[in-house]
Amino acid sequence: MKIDLHTHSNVSDGTQTPTELVEAAVAAGLDVLGLTDHDTFDGIAEAERAADRLGIHLVAGVEMSCRYRGQSVHLLAYGVDQHHGGLRDELQRIRAGRTGRLPAVLAKLAELGVPVTREQVLAQVGDSPSVGRPHIADALVAAGHVTDRTEAFDRFLADGGPAHVERYAAGVAQTIDLVHGAGGVAVLAHPWGRGRREVLTADVIAGLAHEHGLDGIEVDHQDHDQHTRELLRVLAGDNGLVITGSSDHHGLGKVDHDLGCNTTDQGQFSALMSRIGSGGPAA
């Protein structure tokens, strides 16, 4: 069983349509594919149709943007009621905040001598209901200011970078509670990637597990080196957390994130799915 629980389509910042993503997952030999676009379920219905047709198991998910003490945190939610009012409202707030900061980012880029217009960014958005930094990065590439997304982030758009603008995000604990309220399970995405480790410490993650019933952590991810993965595996074991592994595939939008490059153990996957609908921590 090959299980990849974290991927993106062009409904957020990936480059494949949900159908193309499912086709690629089948070609990569996956048995289970999690579609987890940023802050939207818009790709799920199409992906489910393709998955039914091609005989692969699709896990409906979403990667929610939230925050802990000023640090950006991503939370993967699986098995939620996609019509839950509170969850829908929160996703809408996140998307509005992301799109809403676009003029401020464009003003900074112009000041920095690498101007792109709103129209140039919108041409990169695909079917995404919000406009994110990766789309702005793609516009910078198309305008010839940088060679790829990575350079756009490194020079301008990364957290704390010269063209970075803060946006709305709720706290991670509150977001875990919301996911449970919507009947789903919550897994911290790449918890120790990109400078998160200093803020999202082992003690903080243990607290989220014991006080908010955090269900799992993504251990096998390209943002984690081998040593980090071993530490996170121990942390998961100590706190009853499910361990996941995934590609965080973005089509052509991220190099070295091929489908199935990291996978989730079948037993861990079953443990995670069995927690859906349990409303949080085991009694």
153 contact, one of Fe ion, Zn ion, ligand AMP, none, CB 5-8 Å limit per kind: ligand AMP
Q: In this chain, which of 5, 6, 10, 13 binds Zn ion, going by CB under 5 A?
A: 13
Residue matched to tokens 């799109």: 99
User: Which residues contact residue 282 at a Cβ distance below 8 angstroms, ignoring those fewer than 6 apart?
Assistant: 213, 240, 275
**Which CB sits closer to ligand AMP, 66 or 209?**
66
Q: Which residues are 61's β-sheet partners?
A: 78
**Which CB sits closer to Fe ion, 46 or 248?**
248
Cα 56 from Cα 4, distance rounded (Å): 12
Question: Under the criterion CB under 6 A, does residue 67 sit at the interface with ligand AMP?
Answer: no
User: Nearest approach, Cβ of 74 to Fe ion (angstroms)?
Assistant: 4
Give the sheet arrangement for strand 71-78, strand by strand. 3-7, 32-35, 57-68, 71-78, 185-188, 216-220, 242-245
Question: Under the criterion CB under 5 A, does residue 90 sit at the interface with Zn ion?
Answer: no
Q: In this chain, which of 15, 36, 65, 175 binds ligand AMP, going by CB under 6 A?
A: 65
User: Nearest approach, Cβ of 204 to ligand AMP (angstroms)?
Assistant: 20
**Which CB sits closer to Fe ion, 38 or 180?**
38
Question: Under the criterion CB under 6 A, does residue 134 sit at the interface with ligand AMP?
Answer: yes
Question: Under the criterion CB under 6 A, does residue 37 sit at the interface with ligand AMP?
Answer: no
Positive or negative, the Cα torsion across 31, 194, 143, 37?
Answer: positive
Question: Which residues would be at the binding site for Fe ion (CB under 5 A)?
Answer: 63, 74, 189, 248
